[in-house]
Structure formats: structure tokens, C-alpha cells
Structure 1
């Protein structure tokens, strides 16, 4: 119960920031009060029965048992079912303002904006007030996609696409996670959804669609060379530099909020630790430890940190 008292509630469905989450939250509260009342009445009758004097014949007859034990609960369940189906019907939007494709891997999320020509990883950018259609699929086992403060979850299947419609009403950073156990480091498979004001989102798209400029600083050039000579480019894409597909796209890595699919805050120290030995931080992920010289590692960190 104490977890419900957390001041910052990134995974709480009871702190909605979008229309879908608002519908789910309202339904939850209606169920809470209805079923809570039934629970209290049931316990009250149980206590009264425990302290009541034994009688030769029951004080309450069959009619009471039928009405209170069968008819009323059945009516409540039907009403709640109709209410739930009504809410589910409103969760599927009929129009969209933005199309985002999300592909789940072991154990991270690839994010694509087909119309904008942008690819990112473990971080989704959307404009506030726009209905976003998420097209979801898995590259391996079953995963799931859930941003609690914006709506319900949807499974990500390896054989066909599923869809989810979400809208953020407030700017901010929203926590998302995989809620389908997918073995290994399932608990360390998260992402962030960043909701921008429309003009800020337009600027982000414009910047993200272009390859990052080639570094002119010798230190950053050394970092870029370390990226290629160290084999990083075989797995990772940096637009205009490499086209690896096994690992997350790193074109925008310097501007992300987290590393390792939500495992670490993104800062220079954590980035260096992740490159040096990611298995010590997120065991079982697909990235091996590196054996770069300290000077090359330092230059590589600074180069990646400049990609934002």
C-alpha cells in the first residue's frame, strides 16, 4: 500500500495524462467504489452472522439469499461488463495525426517514423494533443508496449502487427515498459515517451531527419574512428557513418534520457561504463564488452555524446 503514496508515479494508471488513460482511470475508480461497497456489505453480514444467536429456523429465507447472493451480484457484473466494453470501444481511435512503428528486440525497442524518415531507439517523440497510431511488432518472442499514464498496454507479436492509439495532453517525459515476460533481462526493458509542444516536435523531426555533421575537432574525429575501427559500426547505425542493424540506432544517442533501454540515466559516466562492459550492467544483452584503450574510449564517449 505504501507504493501508492509515491510522489512521482511514473507507472500509475491513476495519474492520467491522456484521454485513453483518463477513461481507464475513471473505470478503475467506478469498479473500486462498487466492488468496495459490496465487500464491506459482505463482511458486515458475515460479522452479524458470527454474533447472531442460533435459531431453529433461519432468520432470512431463500428469497433473501437469491436476491442478495445471486440477482444483485449478477446485475452488478453485467453493468460493469457493459461499462468496460463501452470504455474499450472508445480506446480505438478512428483517425490519426502521427504514425509510429515500434519493433521490440532482445531487450530494447526500435522506433521508426515512416513518413518522416527518422529512426530512433528506446525513446519516442510525439507532439502534444495529437493522436498517435502505434504499429507494434516483435522481432523475436512476445513482448508488450505500455505507457501507463497515457493508456492501456498492447502485446507485441512476432507474426503480425498490433495497433495502439495514444495521445499526450501534457508536455513531459512518460515512462514505458514491456509487461510481457520475455525471459532474460525483461525487467530492464523500458523506454521513454517524450511529448513536445507541436513546434518543438517539428524542430526535433527536422533535426533528426538529417545526418549529424562530420566532426571537425580532432578529439571527436578520433572518437569517430574508434567507433568504426572498434567494430561498433557493424551492429549500430549512425546516419551517414554506418549501417549496422543488430543494435539500436545511435544517430541521436547523445540526446536520449536513458541508456540500455531505460536501464541507466544517460550521462557521460554511464555511457563510458556501458561501452566498456555492458554485461556488468545489463547481463544477457547482445552487446559484448569492449577492449578500447582509455584514450580511444574517452574520445568515443565524447563523439557519441555529441550526437544529439
Structure 2
């Protein structure tokens, strides 16, 4: 009954981290290999249990009925053949996962504990949110600015470690538009469990429009209230760590040029809305303990103006 409960728990409609709900060719290859392994090794497990039960219930005889040949075949020869076949199948899938063509290249840099996203050649930098076109092979150049992290979008492909000393690469393709959850799968201490990102797949035309929009410099606010928010951004210490195109060049924290358009805050920790944004600015440690952002002390009027200014960056 307990096993049944666990099995039923995996049957929910929301499966953002399930490799068995593939949405790209790489994930389909991995899911297919998983199912083949389940059937083959499941049958081996059942056969082993049957032989074990027979050995327990059948009356023992003085003579050896099965003999050495049976033991060798079932205990050595057949398992060896099965393992070799599955090894060849696994190597075949791994070879197919390494694409030799690419339609777009994106650089992802992991920090403590968030992801920086760069689009080389387009002057676009974002954080914790990746945009790609559907039906196109995207090459991700991955590197870490600290300890080893790992990049994984379960419904689109396998994971790849992000190393601090050299680039690794990963090729992914999304078959259909949607929002796919990604995460760091290498324990990196601190708030590792809250180091996530979102990958947004657009139709190619929509992605082109998004990229053109993201490459633009935000207009200087004309509204007096938003101007006060921008002044609070500069005076409150935000500009020392965060960059906004045409306003500041901070590099310690995530780039905020497109912060108002993001789906989440704190690397996928909370939903992005004005209330959560205000709470994050005032005391992010209460939301994501151990992150690198200190408490920000602002007058309530300045805080609200700052939130509105950042919300306008989209």
C-alpha cells in the first residue's frame, strides 16, 4: 500500500521536473533510454525474484539438479550480454545528444546562487530567465564564477556541470512554446535548493521581437514618481551591485535591465510581483537566506518609488 501511494504521487498533472514528459529531441532520447532500462532491468529483477522464491520453497535435494552450466548462464553469461547491450544503447544515445549544428548561442554564467544569461552579439544580458526560439538548436556555453554548479532543464535534455576553470557546452531544442523549469543539480552549499531558473520558448517570430526589444536601452522615466525611484536606485546602493543599461554598471548582482518582465525573483524563489519585489528589496535574507544581497534601508516612499521604477523595466 505504501508503494502504491508513492506511485500515485507521481501521477499529478504538473510535472515540471519530469524527464518522462519530454518537450525536446534530447529529452525524448533520454526518456526512451529510461523506459528501455526500466523494462530490461525490471524483467531481470522479476526473474531473479522468481528464482529466489523457487530456491526457498522447492524441497532441497542431495543431487545438484540445475548444475554449473545453469548457474553460469543465468549468473554470468546472460547478465554480461544484457549489460553490454545496454552500454551500447547508452553510448549511442550519448552520441546523439552532442549536436554538431547550432542556430543560436547563449552564454550562461553561474554565481552564488543565480544564473547570468548573455546573448553574444545582441548586447542583451538577463538573469535567471532564458529565452529561446522553438524548433532551433541552441548551444549553451556554460561556466561558473565560483564553485561547481550544474545546468539542467529536465523536459528539454540532460544536465551539464558548470566548471570554474573552463567552458562546457550543452545543446537543447524545444519542440513547442512554453515555460520550462531549470535548476542547479550540483550541491553548491548555501541556498543550492533555491537556485533555479526559467526557460521560455517562443515561436521564432516572437523570439526575434523579444530579442530586438531586450537589446534596446530603457527610456529615461518622465514621470516624477519614477524619477524618484531611479534616484533611490542610485542613492540606495543598488547601482553599486546591479546594472541597468544606460544607468549603472554594477556586476556583483543580477542585471536588472529586464527585471520587470521576469517571471520570478531570487532565482526562481518567489513569483515576481510588486509586493514580493518590495519584500525582496527590504529584506531578501528573510526570503532566501544566505544570498549575497544585504538588507536595504529606505524610507517607505522611496521604497515604493523604487519598486515602481524597477517594475517599469520590462
Mark yes or no: TM-score above 0.5. yes
1:251 corresponds to:
257
| Alpha-carbon distance in structure 2 between the residues aligned to 1:40 and 1:266 | 49
1:215 corresponds to:
221
| Alpha-carbon distance in structure 1 between the residues aligned to 2:290 and 2:280 | 13
Question: How is 1:228-267 mapped onto 2 (pairs within 5 angstroms)?
Answer: 228-267=234-273
| Alpha-carbon distance in structure 1 between the residues aligned to 2:29 and 2:269 | 30
Correspondent of 1:83 among 85, 89, 114 = 89
Q: CA RMSD in A?
A: 0.7
Structure 1 residue 126 displacement after superposition: 0.2
Structure 1 stretches of 4+ moved >4 Å = none
Structure 1 residue 58 displacement after superposition: 2.1
Alignment length (residue pairs): 308
1:271 corresponds to:
277
| Alpha-carbon distance in structure 1 between the residues aligned to 2:122 and 2:68 | 68
Structure 1 residue 4 displacement after superposition: 1.6
Structure 1 residue 54 displacement after superposition: 1.2
* 1:27 partnered with 2:33: yes
Q: Which runs of no fewer than 5 residues in structure 1 stay unpaired? A: none
Q: Deviations along 1:233-275, whole A, 9 cap, x unmatched?
A: 0000000110000000000000001100010011111111000
SS at match of 1:277: helix
- Sort the Cα spacing of 1:17 and 1:141 in 2 relative to 1 into closer, same or farther, 3 A: same
| Alpha-carbon distance in structure 2 between the residues aligned to 1:269 and 1:135 | 34
Q: Deviations along 1:201-244, whole A, 9 cap, x unmatched?
A: 00111110011111111111111111001010000000011000
| Alpha-carbon distance in structure 1 between the residues aligned to 2:166 and 2:74 | 46
Question: How is 1:60-71 mapped onto 2 (pairs within 5 angstroms)?
Answer: 60-71=66-77
SS at match of 1:5: coil
| Alpha-carbon distance in structure 2 between the residues aligned to 1:124 and 1:153 | 16
Q: Which runs of no fewer than 5 residues in structure 2 stay unpaired? A: 1-5
| Alpha-carbon distance in structure 2 between the residues aligned to 1:36 and 1:141 | 38
Correspondent of 1:180 among 186, 190, 209 = 186
* 8 Å CA contact retained: 1:99, 1:115: no
Question: How is 1:43-58 mapped onto 2 (pairs within 5 angstroms)?
Answer: 43-58=49-64
Structure 1 residue 298 displacement after superposition: 0.5
Q: Deviations along 1:186-209, whole A, 9 cap, x unmatched?
A: 000000000000111001111100
1:142 corresponds to:
148
